[in-house]
Chains A and B, each alone.
Chain A
């Protein structure tokens, strides 16, 4: 699989929800498809909830940017004979996610320093 450079330039930041969706795709690895991604997004963005439709739109956008790729799996009976659209993180997506994570780390370090005396801790990821 190859992709064109320039689809997402270096320094182009991800939106917050895009970060969450990309993280969900990364963490689910082989099992990343609509329902699972939506469930994982719900866990990651708790207490806020996201609709399945919003996840679809974001996945489409990430695919257009070349950050993920998708393919249809074999139909299964559990899905009424319908196929899954599986997603996989691409190198560009991983790089974008890493840059976002570094940015969050820097933010976290500054906030920890500023709020350290107030015993601030980020919420635990489930």
Chain B
């Protein structure tokens, strides 16, 4: 006959209970149950309520909404920047809501276990990275679970950085504004006297400057997780007809070239052609579920740049950005040849349709000739580690400044409860 629960069961239940209610709930369970089986069954029924009771005491709905909103905003902005089309789909809904809800739950449990931060401290700032890390993990898990998911790690990284910034501000503001009512310490009666003017909450705050190098370090670290981007470019020469008399030559080819490139680009970058290239090179595996997204991404990854123009000629580059240098080189070459071919076909079509003079031919377009094929890029152009470090340091500086501003902002004094108390 057992006279009490097994110590291991008691230890496990103790870990599941928030410290403020651990002592008396464990005692009650011990007193009520002589056997381990009954103890465990009773604990399973009681512990969720005890946890919920503590969560309710340490988390306000407003704070939970703000915290969830901060993480939701971070993921929403990341999706909007990287994969806007996904936001309209179930993946977008899951991808933004799951991390936000995870963050709310994690912070609520964290506050229930350790108490809500009552002043600006390292604890108030550590909570945000911890929570964002779990939220990002939840996002990655959702993406992995949904095999036809459309976004990559870029969204997670960008969203993590933005969420971290927003959530830090929310946590720090709450820590400063929080006037504790209920004690989170075990054994306390629960009542605490709030500060009359919050002056005792104010430290020098100089330690917050450590957030600047910390932010730079985080930015640098995050840059290593950011996928590399390689750029391959093909130089194309615009050849002027040698038989053209000088007086018929335009003084500057740039306006003609811009117009010409616009016309040819419409032909080269049409959806059907891009879709074929995407299929041929097996590009944008994630985005390919929604064709429009893949095409939009591809148009963003192509760049046309007029390098130089003069009286006797001009040249421009066709560049393509990709995570794989070989793919970048091959796709850039493909696009360059398409530009040359399409320009030629377009000119011939126009030339056949009308009996044009030389001047008109010049206006229609000069032949393109590839003068420098794409080379295999040796180094990625992104991520720029210095830029990431700088952004991290800037984010740290913003958090520091806002925190100090909140900390030192003059606040009206609060009345002590004793002033309006009734006798017991």
A contacts with B, residue count (CB < 8 A): 35
In whole angstroms, what is the CA distance A53 to B48 when docked?
A: 7
Q: Does B24 touch A at the CB level, under 8 Å? A: yes
Cβ–Cβ contact B182 & A3, under 8 A: no
Q: A52-B42, A56-B53 are in contact. Are A3 and B417 (CB under 8 A)?
A: yes
Within 8 A of A (CB), among B9-26: 10, 21, 23-26
Interface membership of A31, Cβ < 8 A: no
Give the residues in chain B near A90, CB-CB below 8 Å.
Answer: 424
Stretch at the interface among A9-17, A81-89, A97-105, A113-121: A81-89
Report yes or no: B56 in contact with A52, Cβ–Cβ below 8 A. no
B191 within 8 A of A: yes
Category for how many chain B residues contact A: 35 or more
Which chain A positions have C-beta within 8 A of B26?
80, 82
The answer to whether A82 touches B45, judged by C-beta atoms less than 8 angstroms apart, is no
Contact B420 A34 (CB under 8 A): no
| Closest residue of A by beta carbon distance from B7 | A80
B372 to chain A, nearest CB (A): 74
A56 contacts B424, C-beta separation under 8 Å: no
Which candidate, B27-35, B272-280, B312-320, is the interface stretch facing chain A?
B27-35
Q: With both chains docked as a complex, state the minimum distance between the C-beta of B43 and any C-beta of chain A, in angstroms.
A: 10
Known: A72-B23, A80-B10, A82-B23. A60 touches B53 (CB 8 A): yes
| A70 contacts B by Cβ under 8 Å | yes
Given A52-B32, A64-B182, A69-B189, also A3-B24 (CB < 8 A): no
| Interface residue? A6 (CB, 8 A) | yes
Kindly state the separation between the CA atoms of A80 and B32 in the bound complex, as whole angstroms. 11
Q: Is the CB of B57 within 8 A of A64?
A: yes
Q: Are A34 and B25 in contact (CB under 8 A)?
A: yes
Q: How far is the CA of A80 from the CA of B190 in the complex (A)?
A: 24
What 0/1 readout, one digit per residue, does chain B (332-345) give for beta carbons within 8 Å of chain A? 00000000000000
Give the docked Cα–Cα distance between A35 and B28 (Å).
6
Do A53 and B189 contact each other (CB < 8 Å), given the known contacts A2-B421, A2-B422, A64-B57?
Answer: no
Closest chain-B Cβ to A70's Cβ sits at a distance in Å of 6
Answer whether residue B378 sits at the interface, using C-beta atoms and an 8 A cutoff: no
Q: How far is the CA of A51 from the CA of B25 in the complex (A)?
A: 13
B50 close to chain A: CB less than 8 A? yes
Q: How far is the CB of A82 from chain B (nearest CB, A)?
A: 3
Indicate whether A83 sits within 8 Å of B27 (C-beta atoms), given known contacts A6-B420, A57-B56: yes
CB distance from B282 to the nearest CB of A (A): 55
- Tell whether, in the assembled complex, residue B424 and residue A1 are in contact, meaning their CB atoms are under 8 Å apart: yes
The distance in angstroms between the C-alpha atoms of A78 and B31, with both chains bound, is 6
A85 vs B189: C-alpha distance when bound (angstroms): 9
Q: Which residues 162-192 in B have Cβ within 8 Å of A in the complex?
A: 181-182, 186-187, 189-191
- Residues on B with C-beta less than 8 A from A60 are 53-54, 56-57
Given A34-B24, A52-B45, A5-B182 contact (CB < 8 Å):
no
> For the complex, what is the distance from the CA of A83 to the CA of B48, rounded to whole Å?
20
Q: Is the CB of B422 within 8 A of A80?
A: no
Question: Does chain B have a CB within 8 A of A54?
Answer: yes
Q: A90 vs B191: C-alpha distance in the bound complex, in angstroms? A: 13
A91 to B424, CA, bound (A): 6
Contacts of A63 in B (CB 8 A): 190
Give the docked Cα–Cα distance between A2 and B418 (Å). Answer: 7
Distance between Cα atoms of A1 and B418 in the complex (Å): 10
Q: Are B4 and A57 in contact (CB under 8 A)?
A: no
Contacts of A4 on B, CB cut-off 8 Å?
417, 420-421
Q: Give the complex CA separation of A89 and B270 in angstroms.
A: 77
Residues of A within 8 A of B417 (CB): 2-4
Return B418 CB to nearest CB of chain A, in Å: 6
Contact indicator B30/A82 (Cβ below 8 Å): yes
Query: Is A48 close to B, CB under 8 A?
Result: no
Indicate if the CB atoms of A53 and B46 lie closer than 8 Å: yes
Query: What is the bound-complex CA distance between A2 and B191, given in angstroms?
Result: 10
Q: Please name 15 pairs of A and B residues whose Cβ atoms are closer than 8 Å in the assembled complex, sorted by A.
A: A2-B424, A3-B424, A4-B417, A5-B422, A6-B420, A38-B28, A51-B49, A57-B56, A64-B190, A75-B27, A80-B5, A80-B27, A82-B27, A83-B24, A85-B24
Taking A4-B417, A57-B50 as known contacts, 6 extra A-B pairs with beta carbons closer than 8 A to each other, sorted by chain A number, are A34-B27, A34-B28, A52-B45, A57-B52, A70-B190, A80-B5
